């Protein structure tokens, strides 16, 4: 941590760990992003296509939660994917608030083409850790992500 902050050792340790976590996550995300940048997809667009490809059609609220974005941002992302012919929206029942996002054949073709390289790059960057370390990191991240649920 910087030399100008003099907090309790608990705070300094936490801030130091947080900075390392953020830098590692950013480095891994940047490395993985190279697998789909040439396709013209943003990280959020890739996340939408990946979720719909692997999970299937999702209502927009569930999709927003799955890819960790706001519903307002998701609307823009889906609008742009729809313009490219990658995703379509389907009204579900009489409640106009319930809209299902579905991947189109063009979206399926694109994500099927780029996902193997994405997966390979993630395996490569995570391969810096042993299998046991990867498992432990996953457990720690799950614990950290639960926050107030503990």
The domains found in the chain, sorted by start residue, are 9-122 (1.10.10.10)
pLDDT at res. 92: 78
pLDDT at res. 63: 95
Q: Which residues of the chain have pLDDT under 70?
A: 1-3, 147-150
Q: What is the dihedral of CA 28, 32, 38, 43, to 10 degrees?
A: -80
pLDDT at res. 95: 74
**Tokens 């939408």, located at residue:** 48
């Amino acid at each position: 941590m910087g030399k100008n902050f003099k907090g309790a050792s608990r705070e300094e340790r936490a801030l130091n760990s947080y900075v390392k976590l953020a830098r590692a996550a950013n480095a891994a995300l940047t490395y993985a992003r190279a697998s789909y940048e040439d396709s013209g997809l943003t990280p959020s667009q890739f996340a939408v296509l990946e979720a719909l490809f692997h999970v299937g059609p999702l209502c927009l609220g569930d999709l927003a939660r799955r890819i960790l974005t706001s519903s307002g941002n998701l609307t823009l992302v889906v609008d742009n994917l729809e313009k490219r012919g990658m995703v379509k929206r389907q009204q579900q029942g009489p409640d106009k608030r319930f809209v299902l996002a579905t991947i189109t054949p063009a979206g399926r073709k694109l994500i099927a083409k780029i996902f193997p390289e994405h997966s390979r790059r993630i395996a490569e960057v995570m391969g810096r850790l042993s299998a046991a370390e990867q498992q432990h990191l996953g457990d720690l991240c799950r614990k950290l992500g639960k926050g107030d649920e503990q």
